[in-house]
A = this chain, B = another copy of it.
């Protein structure tokens, strides 16, 4: 029986400011990527989010990003790679500590935002950052954007990794995401999103906008929850997968 993991970014509130619907999402996903305080999150939010996730038996991941709170880690920054590695180490260390304090543990690591985007186009950068993360958490699994430089780097490292696709984004024929500014790039229709993802999981392939199949390891589906629409897509994806008899559970490697 096929199984797949559902993941989402969480713990993205900051100080007095709220973001997201972590409560709702934690009833939908099986893995949570927790912001580590550099692009969002703070020590209070990290701990409370990890506790909530652990209570709902949702797997916990560290979600390091650029040190850019005002830009939410979405700006591309040219930081020396050695400095970036240490910033990743620091964030992963902090996440491990908070998880221990919460009585749980960090199972996986996923890069955030512009750091992830840049690394998905640059296997050397991905390798350096994953290597840094694993120097702090050698037992963790890396969550890679399937069929990108992320995957190439993880394979070269020989580390444990899982492949991820997006529930709400269309793919080009080279497995990259369709530019957000183009029509159809973002799936807004929950009735389409769910079956589309179920098709991909069953096929073991990314199905591109043109219908092309790119065989790849699909272990986890990335969901969002920042809009009411996103939550509908998340729920639809969950339902469509179950309807096809695909079991939803934390990834295992």
Q: Does B37 lie within 8 Å of A135, measured CB to CB?
A: no
Q: Is A119 on the interface with B (CB-CB < 8 A)? A: no
**Could you give, for residues 78-99 of chain A, a 1 whenever the CB lies within 8 Å of some chain B CB and a 0 otherwise?**
1110110011011111111110
> How far is it, in angstroms, between the C-alpha of A76 and the C-alpha of B114 when the chains are bound?
14
Q: Is A71 on the interface with B (CB-CB < 8 A)? A: yes
Q: In the complex, which residues of chain B have a beta carbon less than 8 angstroms from the beta carbon of A137?
A: 97
Q: Is A2 on the interface with B (CB-CB < 8 A)? A: no
- Distance in angstroms from A209 CB to nearest chain B CB is 27
Q: In the complex, which residues of chain B have a beta carbon less than 8 angstroms from the beta carbon of A70?
A: 14-15, 42, 67
- Distance in angstroms from A248 CB to nearest chain B CB is 29
Q: In the complex, which range does the number of interface residues on chain A fall in?
A: 35 or more
Q: In the complex, which residues of chain B have a beta carbon less than 8 angstroms from the beta carbon of A43?
A: 83, 86-87, 89-90
* Chain A contact residues, CB within 8 Å of chain B: 13-19, 37, 40, 42-44, 46-47, 67, 69-72, 75-80, 82-83, 86-87, 89-98, 100-101, 132, 135-137
- In the assembled complex, 25 residue pairs joining A and B whose CB atoms fall closer than 8 Å, in A order, are A14-B15, A15-B69, A15-B70, A16-B19, A17-B17, A17-B18, A17-B19, A42-B70, A43-B89, A43-B90, A46-B86, A71-B79, A75-B80, A86-B98, A86-B101, A89-B98, A90-B94, A90-B97, A91-B94, A93-B95, A93-B100, A93-B101, A97-B136, A97-B137, A101-B136
